[in-house]
Structure 1
Amino acid sequence: MRSPTSFLPETASRLPHTIDRFAGRLTNRLLRAAPWQLIEVPTREPIVSFTFDDVPDSALRVGAAILEACGVRGTFYISGGLEGQVEPDRTLIDAAGCRELVARGHEIGCHTYGHRDIRHLDRASLAADLADNARYLDAVDPRRGRRNFAYPYNSGSLGKRSMLADSYRTCRAGGEAINRGPTDPTFLKAIEIRQPETLVAGLTRWIDALIADPGWLILFTHDISPTPTPYGASPAAFERLVAHAVERGCCVLTVDAALDRMGFREAGQ
């Protein structure tokens, strides 16, 4: 039998990561407790936005097609530095894939260029990273107004939210809640669509809750595949979720279109 000290090296190696995760969760709680700005999300109709992070090619090939078959569109948050990256269980889309999404009526948003936790970037490095991604996205989807943003790893930063507020219409995090009433647009709440499949099937309860008490429900995921990663869903499960929102009478819109629908238009629109 090994002595307790034999476990110390492994425990020590995990400690910095554990501390960082705890610090990230604490930061997110502080961000929600002390909003930077407030908008009033109307509660007169149920609005749903389906969003994708990173974005794997299956989100384009399968996820976008499922949305379109239901007559709706989604928001795809792109990290230009991940373009075409091949990983063991997924491949990220390239510029041509981004152009295809735009041509099919979907929204392209910013997910930083290097997909790093913004807590670990200084302001100058973050500004350079965001500028790189802006150039990448503008090359595939030129636009005059500000885009929408999603935090890598859903991890916010108290010291950098003013930069993000100036640069983006909204910034989406996690939070497992529906946006209703007074809402901080720099830290929108969202529900994750991820494994196991039983969890995805149960997410219809959020749509039912939205019908009972309207607001803005944002859902996010990554890949849509018959063999999904832990951060994705199967096509059948995702299709059931989208169909449920449509059949229950939700107004399913991209993040940008939802903001317009709620009356939060950019200057010049």
Structure 2
Amino acid sequence: MHCLSIFLAAVLFAGAGSSAFAVKRKSHYHARPIYTHKRSHHHTRSRRTALEAKEEPARTTIPEESLQRVKLTPVPPLKGSRESLIRQNQRSEAEGLERIEDDDQLNELRRQHELVTVPVSMSLRVNPELPANRRYCRPWTAHFLSDLARVHYARFHRSLQVNSAVRTVAYQRRLIEINDNAAPAEGDIASPHLTGATIDIAKKGLSMSEVAWMRAYLLPLQTAGKIDVEEEFYQACFHITVYKPYTPHSKPKAAPANPGSKSALIAAGVQ
């Protein structure tokens, strides 16, 4: 009887050991797939991320503004020259623009809408010291000012200032007496302000970034022959003459009654 009890105890102990071993193996068996699954998911995700990074265009991961800064080439000062002043006078003459002699002629051009007011807005102001009858320019110059001021304001949230616009020959002669830097009132290097197509944008108050931006904005227009720029340092301004082709879509004026007159030839484009 005692031997039978010992035998049964041995059998039960052996069975319990086998069961424990089986449970341990089963637990170990399930642990491997779980660990393997996590590793496989991590590996797949890493591989997919690597592929996406390889296939994604660079400009979608780098802000467009940053790309533009990288590509931006600094533009040197747009200094004027005698040749530039001669060109401004020649082109103004070719476009049929006369030098405005006095206030009477200026007022007549205003009545005919040959001169329009400088387009003052939130983005563009006029120097308060500029006389009221000097705050006029040619229509295409006004269009240019509106475009320039709008784009500048969108970028910097600051307004530009016009320091000078149309002048008369009589006014220019007085200006020469007090300003040695003023251009002559006659000749091939006369001030282009006398035609009303030229304006001066103040540099004073502009940051270095704004000045650099102005140069980068104006240079392509000058290269395209739509404007001429002289960056002045004594007066600290951008002197800009705007040509008619800046607004090629503008409607031509009606031809005068006399088709053989000088005005009719100019309106028809015959220089």
Please tell me the TM-score bracket, short chain as reference: under 0.3
TM-score (norm 2): 0.22
Q: Point out the structure with the larger strand share.
A: 1
Which structure has the greater CA radius of gyration? 2
Higher relative contact order (CA 8 A, sep 6+): 1
